[in-house]
Amino acid sequence: EIVMTQSPATLSVSPGDRATLSCWASQSIGINLAWYQHKPGQAPRLLIYGASMRATGIPGRFSGSGSGTEFILTINSLQSEDFAVYYCQQYMNWPPFTFGPGTKVDIK
């Protein structure tokens, strides 16, 4: 099973600043990585797939990078609606599909 880790667990950011979230895979997953945004009481939303491809309707301030075992999600100029929990997920080797533990982005 591929284990996904994320850092930091919590990131405190001021509106308008940049947030950088990291995700690691326990073995190479190529670019088979997705990022999701999840707010309490809502459906998770796909942000990024293929490590760097923005999903339909996702603003340009969200960008993903990386390959192999190290990945980054960058959120430029954070807006109020961006405060949420962010998860990475690998879909290279399955079952199981595995998620990282999440990074909570909150207001500084």
Partner 1 sequence: QVQLVESGGGVVQSGRSLRLSCAASGFNFSSYTMFWVRQAPGKGLEWVSLISYNGRNTYYADSVRGRFAIARDNSDHTLSLQMHSLRIDDTAIYFCVKAARGLFGDLWGQGALVTVSS
Query: In angstroms, rounded to a whole number, what is the distance separating the alpha carbons of residues 19 and 103?
Result: 11
The distance of closest approach from Cβ of residue 84 to partner 1 in the complex, given in angstroms and rounded to an integer, is: 13
The distance of closest approach from Cβ of residue 46 to partner 1 in the complex, given in angstroms and rounded to an integer, is: 5
Residues that bind partner 1 (CB under 8 A): 32, 34, 36, 38, 41-46, 49-50, 55, 87, 89, 91, 94-102
Query: In angstroms, rounded to a whole number, what is the distance separating the alpha carbons of residues 108 and 106?
Result: 6
| Residue nearer to partner 1 on the CB measure, 14 or 43 | 43
The distance of closest approach from Cβ of residue 85 to partner 1 in the complex, given in angstroms and rounded to an integer, is: 8
The distance of closest approach from Cβ of residue 77 to partner 1 in the complex, given in angstroms and rounded to an integer, is: 25
| Residue nearer to partner 1 on the CB measure, 50 or 76 | 50
| Residue nearer to partner 1 on the CB measure, 4 or 15 | 4
